[in-house]
Amino acid sequence: MQNIQDQLIISRVLPADLPILQQISRDTFFDTFAVYNTPEDMQRYMEHNLGAEQLSRELDNSDSEFFFARASGEVAGYLKLNTGAACTDSRYAGALEIERIYVRREFKGLGVGQALMKKARERMQELNLPWLWLGVWEKNEPAILFYEKQGFVPFDTHGFMLGNDLQTDILMRWNQNL
């Protein structure tokens, strides 16, 4: 398949989209991380963090925004952005956080991630925030390489609980002036 960026429609996720959001969240998270983690930790994380009740709270949070990337009407991936109190690390609440940028397996390598990253940069500028940041698991080498290609650089770390397993996220930032 070829790059499909020109065919993508990026639109805000609505509360009525909750079932689709939950399904893509669980599918992409499982596809990416199940091989590296215990079934118990995966199940615990998905129930607590990617359950309908939690995702509904996140959708209702005025400091968070979700966007779907659709190709021919099919959801190819999504983006979750945070500001202020919704940021996963309060030390960086003055910037825009990409908490999730998930792409379905069959759409990886087709430009969906790049299109969602472009949307994040646009929102950073629209919100007049100084920089963009994200946390990526230190063992997720494909994602780290993707972010580096997008111009992100490491600047810190923080802990991330996956079930009962405390893992380390590398914090990376993008600033158009870097």
Q: Kindly name the residue from 45, 78, 92, 147 that is annotated as catalytic.
A: 147
Known catalytic residue: 147? Answer: yes
Q: Are 134 and 120 in contact (CB under 8 A)?
A: no
Q: Is 78 domain-assigned? A: yes
Q: Is 151 domain-assigned? A: no
Q: How far is CA 55 from the centre of its chain?
A: 13
Q: What pLDDT is attached to residue 177?
A: 66
Q: What pLDDT is attached to residue 4?
A: 86
Q: Is 141 domain-assigned? A: no
Give the residues of the chain that fall short of pLDDT 70: 1, 177-178
- The pTM is what? 0.94
Q: Is 55 domain-assigned? A: yes
Q: Is 148 domain-assigned? A: no
Q: How far is CA 2 from the centre of its chain?
A: 23
Domains identified in the chain, total number: 1
Q: What pLDDT is attached to residue 1?
A: 56
What 3-state class would DSSP assign to 128?
Answer: coil
Q: What pLDDT is attached to residue 178?
A: 53
Q: What pLDDT is attached to residue 176?
A: 72
Instruction: Provide the CATH number for the domain around residue 90.
Output: 3.40.630.30
Reported as a single tens digit per residue, the pLDDT across 70-105 is: 998 999 999 999 999 999 999 999 999 999 999 999
Q: What pLDDT is attached to residue 5?
A: 78
Q: Is 166 domain-assigned? A: no
Q: What pLDDT is attached to residue 175?
A: 76
Q: Whole-number mean pLDDT of the chain?
A: 95
Domain housing 32: 5-136
